[in-house]
Structure 1
Amino acid sequence: MVEVRGIRLDSNTLGPTNGLTATKRPVISWEIFGNEKNWYQGAYQIKIKYGAQTYSIYDVVNSDNNLFVEWPGRDLKSREVIAISIRVAPKSDVFSFSEWSEPAVAQVGILDNSWRAPFISMVGQPKDEDVSPEILFRRNFDLSANKIKSAKIYSTALGVYEIEVNGRKVGQDYLAPGWTSYDHRLLHQFYDITDLLTPHSNAIGARVGSGWYSGMLGFDGGARNIYGYQRAISIEIDVEYENGERAVILSDEAWKSNYGPIKDAQLYNGEVYDANDEFPGWSLPTFKDDSWSPIEIIQCSSKSIEPQAFGYICEINSLKPVDIFETPKKKLIVDFGQNAVGFPRINNAKAPKGHTITLRFAEVLENGELGTRPLRLAKATDQYTFKGDIDGETYAPRFTFHGARYCQIDNWYGEFNPTNIEFVVIGNLMETTGGFECSDRLLNRLHQNVVHSMRGNFLAIPMDCPQRDERLGWTGDIAIFCPTALYLCDCYSFLQSWLKDLKLEQKANGGAPAVVVPDIIHAFETFWNGKIAAIWQDASVIVPYELYRSSGNKHILQTQYESMVSWIDYIPKIEGKVRWDKIEAQLGDWLDPSAPPDNPLLALTDAYLVADAFLFKILTITSETAEILKLEKDAAYYAELASKCRSDFNDAYVSLSGKLTSNTQTAYALAICFGLYKNDDQICYAGNQLSELVRQSDYKISTGFAGTPFVTEALTITGHIEDAYKMILQKECPSWLYPVSVGATTIWERWDSMLPTGHINPGEMTSFNHYALGSIANWMHERMGGLKLKEPGWREFFLRPIPGSNISYCETFHKSPSGLIRSQWKIEASKFTYNVTVPLNSTAHVTLPDGTTHSVGSGVWSFTCSA
């Protein structure tokens, strides 16, 4: 018998750390589990419980749809709890319903901008200059002796914050409320504190650091106080008693404030903590705060406060030391074995009162010492001053994070024990939805590196890197990596939130998205200020379209359509042509390995060829989007523009044979994959020429951001699969496996971020955790593993692996909106065996290497053919 599980509202997994329900009428999706073969849904029924009311049972709907079903009930109300249960019936017998699913419980956030808790700040708080100390806020409050049914906190801050109630931390997350375009919108969180309260006397405390709100952001010196300087907290406590009575406690004039033991907390520089300035019991009702300062109520500058509808930043993992050693300069170094993103946790350390230890972080070693040059101006350093507790002290930073594998510890007191330190890995909670494994160990490590880089950089926003003085939401990186990201993790709601900021800032800027979102570039002088470029701002078109393809949810296209067309209309075009006007330098194939270390603009491929190829791509996407949204005039208009762009591209860059003006891997890969050629003969020429270029380079990579996602795919499309395999298996620099072969545990920004000599690339811009070039994983999933989407939302998909080289085994999986898809093949004794899993209510189109085809529904299937 089948059963319904995995109920979602608006693509959001339900749960206390996975985000709030943020709309009045969310769409509903569900997964159907069972062992039945060729099972398709024929009908469904939904029932919803609003608060303590009885279930409202809605009419049976005859439909095979289990994704993004319209909300059947009344509008949701702020702060209420709902429970949803669903049952389904097969297409073969629409009266034979499953059991009702276990209720999925959802907490509704505060909607319609009806936030009622004032923002409180320290009276006279000065602007932070060199340091950013934390500010503590507290108050006592009384409750009645009646039994508490539920107690909830809705909270947000200007800055980053943590809450304590009666001496215990609230929640398991970090760096709330994250980073949004604060001028436009601020996110709020929710915590259940029912078990933390007591009858009568209680206390609440909040620590607030500068974070992204007022702390240092950017590169080349960056800027502080971009959004404001007065850090503030806003809290609403809602208590409901068993007898039906309620109590509400808000942040107001009854609170007091003081500076805390965190003397400096900055995202780039790290944290300075003095345990001697702690206030023991400061969040307990017995604490005396007579000497603390009064607060003032300030206005929140954000236009709206919205529920956070995606996973909170939480601890993902904890890394223990794999090696501890002394450098040639007698420095103590801890190697955690994995380049990761998070902060240290010092356990049971003992030292005299006033003794200070320093921990500095870096991703790599150079000449046996900590390699800090790539950090640029970021100090990436934590300091802890002991209070002299004879029982030992524990410390972990609260308001910073580091991108690092190595930690240098200076001035440790006594003998260092490996149990004294661990590295807490953090990131926004999102379910793993994709994986890969094959018979080649280095390819497996490459795929792991892609996952680690994505996980590390998906923190509050999709960052470019997590370690240096940058950590920004570069649009170009996510534009090319988005399909890979959506295969590997359930990041729909995370990226949907980021796209809201892109759209809001774009509208305020007059039509052009920024190159980084949230946009802080305007706050300081830089080459990037006001920059417009293909690929980067094309994210406004590519990312929502890829979210639609992966989910099947048209809502993202409806929401972002204005943003898509605004960007296309804004692009400066040559008069009479649908091509980019050459009004300023394009970024082109950024970080082509042939470019000089200090000038990534000097790529082999004509930057305007790249820009015009991507212009055709986004015009095609926009036309398709308009068609999906039934905007017929728009669909025809953008289809005509795309056709003209294709013609103009051919006039400018393509000869009759198919030869391009830029005879490069990137140029041919883009023209082939985007469909820019006019006929099959040209495609054949381009494929052969690309193959020749790849062979001439001894299968080494010569693409940057633009070409990397497409070069192996272009070879595959044109029948050069063995060349594609030889490229991905190449170990010499530049190649995908060169970093792996020298011990990389994440994806690098440059193909040679670490030179074969063991020295760090001399360029100023060098990161060892930069996910963009990991977009090759998409080819690994689709071509090696054989799993490729056919219809948006994965209701129909292809299973057609293409074995190559000496790979004898390959497996990939993807947890689609309807359930788990698995593709597993092996070659043994000249026999190809293919095992696949198809979820219920889905169809797979299988093609074996010998050309045999099958179309199958749900179930576990096995196929064989000659290898």
Structure 2
Amino acid sequence: MRTPFLIGCLLFSWYTTSAQIAIKNLLTENLKNPICIDAQNPRFSWQLTEKYNKAVIQQAYELQVDSSTFDNKSHSPLWSSGKINSDQSVYIPYSGKLLLSGRKYFWRVRVWDTKGVVSAWSEQAFWKMGLLSTPDWHAQWIVPASNDTVNAAAPLLRNNFSLNKKVLEATAYISSHGFYEAQLNGHKIGDSFLTPGWTSYNKRLQYQAYDVTSLLTEGENAIGVTLGSGWYRSPLGPYTPRANFYGDKTALLMEIRIVFTDGSTKIISSDKNWKSSTGALRFAEIYNGCIIDSRLEKSGWTNPAFNDQDWLPVRVMAYPKNTLTATYNETVKQHEVFKPIKIITTPRGEKVIDFGQNLVGWVKVTLKGHAGDSIKIAHAEVLDKAGEFYTENLRAAKAENIYILKDTVKRTFEPQFSWQGFRYIKIKGIKGPLNPDDFTAVAIYSDMKASGSFSCSNPLLNQLQHNIQWGQKGNFLDVPTDCPQRDERLGWTGDAQVFSRTAAFNMDVHNFFTKWLKDVAADQYKSGSIPYVIPDVFTNGTDEVGGSSGWGDVSTIIPWNMYYAYGDKKILENQFQSMKAWVNYIQKQTRNGLWVTGNHFGDWLFYSVNDDRDGISAITNKYLIAQCFYAYSTRILTNSAKVLNKKADEEYYAKLLTQIKQAFVNEYVTANGLISSDTQTAYVLALEFDMLPVNLRQQAAARLVKNIELYHGHLTTGFLGTPYLCDALSKFGYADVAYKLLLQDTYPSWLYPIKQGATTIWERWDGIKTDGSFEEPSMNSYNHYAYGAIGDWMYRNIAGIMPAAPGYKKIIIKPVIGGGLSWAEGKYECPYGSISCKWEIIANKLNMNVIIPQNTTADIFVPDFQGKTYKKFTVGPGNYHYSR
């Protein structure tokens, strides 16, 4: 037998004495030079670099903040931290004088390394404070004078104003009831869509800030704003959608703060002097699409020369401003575009276009015809087995855009205030053959930066990663929705919590989830129960529609996952009372320490057989699942209390956790370790959440493997069991079984949908059955990311990248070899910089390349080419190569 050998090459040394340290990627509240911060103690982060790629560990830092630039300055800064002995380079809070509303501030930082070498001052970054209180707003809420209802034409609001000086700087602050799109002098303000975003509007209403300096001119100017029903009043919810949930009128709040070159200022605000009308957008709704009648277009209405003599004056309303909050999360923007890959005539003779990717957004279409021609574009995710356009799974959602032409001029149309989930479109009203150049599909999603990538030697796993990422893109649309196509598109809590760790690998979801979690707390019932969807549109806040295990646990699981991914304690601070209220709610529901009451979804969409005479449906007792999640949330709450130095809470919930686990064992586990629900999910949750005594864990893992064998190497788990399945197997020495499950390509499995042509993750394991028929249309989405939670295991195990400390201050690199893979590579952008690990097996030899970012340390575990043994190395920042 060949003796394994190992060579480790450190490609640059660390703790150098001649470092030329530089500082990059300066962020304020995780944003680059933001212009709307309403936190009185904003936090600063930075990354380190070194001119010659030598390793640097920060030993100290000094921060300076001022209200003007640092160039050629003789006076002292507004605030200086002084030299602080700390290796912390993320989320350092400002601790100076009170910051003023609307003011711009500048900051810079320098650092010392472990040898006392000091860097130069960084380049200066800046941020601008938002409008911090109700009196700071000069704008008034205004509503259109038109017949403004959910089914009526979209209101247009406009105003002219004059500027007689040269503009130095101008910032527009905008919020609305419903969606808004604003223009200045004929140009769109910003590049965001679906603003102001979706929050629990009656408790938290976001506003956005835009730099509009370049859009203003000396002389006459004009503002134009289109309003849409949006999430504010579109019918929301499946089966019996409720319109006007937050209110029945759209409204606008807007002001532009202008600073002239001579130092004087001016504020342009929404007020009684604005006018309103309607235009080409005759209908716009989330589920049903929009109607644009270009015959009614008001050309040039956002330009100063437009004649608005026939427009009606707006009404001023006394809507509250104390719920307004600045926007930190990334807004929805346009991203990838797709051209048709195939033009199809279906057996029924319908004209259909295939874009090759199930995506979320809309189709830009160039049309030419005659005045009054009506072009209808419908949307679908799949074709049926006969090749016909299939929309039954959209339920009541029409998902149809209609464009009515005003003349014979060729024009480009796209929907406004609506979007669709689709791969295919069906076109009615175009005479003659379709020209593929006339159609472009545009993907939209929250503008989160890509943070991770995964690839390997197996093309099916690469497609799985692709599908996971596109499921996230399509459903991370300001809130984490369950699906993007049917009459739902809601922030289902269970889906979000099971996917949150994978989400954080693929994209920087720090601000995205921080925002959404605030609405989790805002909409939490007084009892402590958590609604099924956030924002909660199932109730008015009095009747409780929630409290399900695995769904309500979103209030503890995501805050902890985000804290561990980004190292930001403030997430735990923000959510701690909500977390505590949820656990306390469960405790009040228990009987003899067992959570055996309430409504639970259980292991949603687990493997089941309709005519189950042999008892092979994988049914797991809902209350057993509830007890496991009760324990998990309590464990998270205990750990969070420890992080936040809440000693009394830590001790209380640690004791409670012991009682919860003992009650579980007493009720659900035999003396020999058999769990009463002898299913994969039961064993997975018991193992993952440490519900079993140590002496029963390994045999429970063996029972899990035996159960998988019973189903011929297939998983049977649903929404709650699936995310932890491969993880539990790996932890207890069955990584080979985890790989077999991952690579299984017959139903039920992760790869079966890929074999069926999926380009996103399906809601059901058999959304399309082996005979080409569909699962029941009432619950059959083809873009539903929950089962994509396996991505977390792929990053952590195949690529081998995981945090050893919150925020990756310390890193573990430990790839698991298996599955017949000859190579795999993972990359991840953590708060400190880029991490990567690539391994490859050539001629029974493993080569591994690793990058560890500055100001971190890592434990690198290098496997042999069979993955049977590991060699451990503790290292600092650097590029490393290993051969074994």
Bin the TM-score by the shorter chain: over 0.9
User: Match of 1:31?
Assistant: 47
Determine the C-alpha separation between the residues in 2 that align with 1:815 and 1:378.
Answer: 38
* AA matched with 1:24: Q
Question: Normalising to structure 2: TM-score of the pair?
Answer: 0.93
User: Match of 2:310?
Assistant: 291
Determine the C-alpha separation between the residues in 2 that align with 1:749 and 1:189.
Answer: 34
Aligned pairs for 1:413-812 within 5 A: 413-506=431-524, 509-522=526-539, 530-571=545-586, 577-582=592-597, 584-594=598-608, 604-680=619-695, 682-812=696-826
- The secondary structure found in structure 1 opposite 2:728 is helix
User: Match of 2:238?
Assistant: 219
- The secondary structure found in structure 1 opposite 2:675 is coil
From 100, 105, 108, the counterpart of 1:85: 108
Alignment partner of 1:229 is 2:229: no
Contact 1:217 / 1:223 at 8 angstroms: preserved in 2?
Answer: yes
Determine the C-alpha separation between the residues in 2 that align with 1:577 and 1:678.
Answer: 20
User: Match of 1:108?
Assistant: 129
- The secondary structure found in structure 2 opposite 1:522 is coil
Determine the C-alpha separation between the residues in 1 that align with 2:488 and 2:721.
Answer: 24
Determine the C-alpha separation between the residues in 2 that align with 1:36 and 1:518.
Answer: 47
User: Is the alpha carbon distance of 1:500 and 1:3 closer, same or farther for their aligned partners in structure 2, counting shifts above 3 Å?
Assistant: same
Aligned pairs for 1:320-359 within 5 A: 320-347=339-366, 349-359=367-377
User: Match of 2:155?
Assistant: 135
Contact 2:21 / 2:56 at 8 angstroms: preserved in 1?
Answer: no
- The secondary structure found in structure 2 opposite 1:824 is strand
User: Match of 1:319?
Assistant: 338
User: Match of 1:393?
Assistant: 411
Shift of 1:833: 1.2
Shift of 1:107: 3.0
Alignment partner of 1:816 is 2:833: no
Shift of 1:512: 1.4
User: Match of 2:145?
Assistant: 123
Determine the C-alpha separation between the residues in 1 that align with 2:720 and 2:794.
Answer: 18
- The secondary structure found in structure 1 opposite 2:276 is strand
Determine the C-alpha separation between the residues in 1 that align with 2:452 and 2:611.
Answer: 34
Determine the C-alpha separation between the residues in 1 that align with 2:272 and 2:590.
Answer: 61
Shift of 1:302: 6.5
Contact 1:589 / 1:603 at 8 angstroms: preserved in 2?
Answer: no
* AA matched with 2:772: G
Determine the C-alpha separation between the residues in 1 that align with 2:268 and 2:122.
Answer: 36
User: Match of 2:36?
Assistant: 20
Shift of 1:57: 6.5
Point out the more displaced range, 724-733 or 758-767. Answer: 758-767
Contact 2:287 / 2:397 at 8 angstroms: preserved in 1?
Answer: yes
Shift of 1:797: 1.5
Determine the C-alpha separation between the residues in 2 that align with 1:206 and 1:725.
Answer: 54
- The secondary structure found in structure 2 opposite 1:571 is helix
- The secondary structure found in structure 2 opposite 1:860 is strand
| Partner deviation per Cα, 1:444-503 (whole Å, 9 max, x = no partner) | 110111111111111111111110000000110111111111121111111111111111
User: Match of 1:46?
Assistant: 63
Contact 2:334 / 2:442 at 8 angstroms: preserved in 1?
Answer: yes
Shift of 1:262: 0.6
Determine the C-alpha separation between the residues in 2 that align with 1:575 and 1:241.
Answer: 64
- The secondary structure found in structure 1 opposite 2:494 is helix
| Partner deviation per Cα, 1:738-786 (whole Å, 9 max, x = no partner) | 0111110100111111111222212511101111110001110111111
Shift of 1:524: 12
Determine the C-alpha separation between the residues in 2 that align with 1:46 and 1:275.
Answer: 55
Determine the C-alpha separation between the residues in 1 that align with 2:322 and 2:714.
Answer: 50
| Partner deviation per Cα, 1:537-560 (whole Å, 9 max, x = no partner) | 110111111111111111111111
- The secondary structure found in structure 2 opposite 1:25 is coil
User: Is the alpha carbon distance of 1:107 and 1:324 closer, same or farther for their aligned partners in structure 2, counting shifts above 3 Å?
Assistant: farther
| Partner deviation per Cα, 1:242-297 (whole Å, 9 max, x = no partner) | 00111111000110001121111001100100001001111111111111111101
Contact 2:586 / 2:630 at 8 angstroms: preserved in 1?
Answer: no
Aligned pairs for 1:365-384 within 5 A: 365-366=383-384, 367-384=386-403
Structure 2 residues not aligned, in runs of 5+: 1-19, 864-868
User: Is the alpha carbon distance of 1:15 and 1:135 closer, same or farther for their aligned partners in structure 2, counting shifts above 3 Å?
Assistant: farther
* AA matched with 1:536: W
Determine the C-alpha separation between the residues in 1 that align with 2:408 and 2:63.
Answer: 58
- The secondary structure found in structure 2 opposite 1:500 is helix
- The secondary structure found in structure 2 opposite 1:589 is coil
Shift of 1:705: 0.8
Q: Root-mean-square deviation (CA), in Å?
A: 1.9
Contact 2:69 / 2:106 at 8 angstroms: preserved in 1?
Answer: no
Shift of 1:575: 5.8
Shift of 1:847: 1.3
Shift of 1:38: 4.3
User: Match of 1:198?
Assistant: 217
Determine the C-alpha separation between the residues in 2 that align with 1:198 and 1:26.
Answer: 33
Alignment partner of 1:179 is 2:206: no
User: Match of 1:257?
Assistant: 276
Contact 2:382 / 2:390 at 8 angstroms: preserved in 1?
Answer: yes
| Partner deviation per Cα, 1:575-603 (whole Å, 9 max, x = no partner) | 66322132x342110110216599xxx85
Shift of 1:422: 0.5
Point out the more displaced range, 106-115 or 833-842. Answer: 106-115
* AA matched with 2:473: R
Contact 1:350 / 1:413 at 8 angstroms: preserved in 2?
Answer: no
| Partner deviation per Cα, 1:62-91 (whole Å, 9 max, x = no partner) | 211111112143333222222322222211
Determine the C-alpha separation between the residues in 2 that align with 1:417 and 1:597.
Answer: 49
Determine the C-alpha separation between the residues in 2 that align with 1:110 and 1:409.
Answer: 46
Point out the more displaced range, 641-650 or 29-38. Answer: 29-38
Contact 1:666 / 1:703 at 8 angstroms: preserved in 2?
Answer: yes
Structure 1 residues not aligned, in runs of 5+: none
User: Is the alpha carbon distance of 1:225 and 1:776 closer, same or farther for their aligned partners in structure 2, counting shifts above 3 Å?
Assistant: same
Q: How many correspondences in the alignment?
A: 847
User: Is the alpha carbon distance of 1:32 and 1:160 closer, same or farther for their aligned partners in structure 2, counting shifts above 3 Å?
Assistant: same
* AA matched with 1:139: N
Contact 1:115 / 1:305 at 8 angstroms: preserved in 2?
Answer: no
Contact 1:659 / 1:686 at 8 angstroms: preserved in 2?
Answer: yes
| Partner deviation per Cα, 1:812-852 (whole Å, 9 max, x = no partner) | 11111111110111111111111100001111101122221
Contact 2:286 / 2:418 at 8 angstroms: preserved in 1?
Answer: yes
Determine the C-alpha separation between the residues in 1 that align with 2:546 and 2:83.
Answer: 53
Question: Normalising to structure 1: TM-score of the pair?
Answer: 0.95
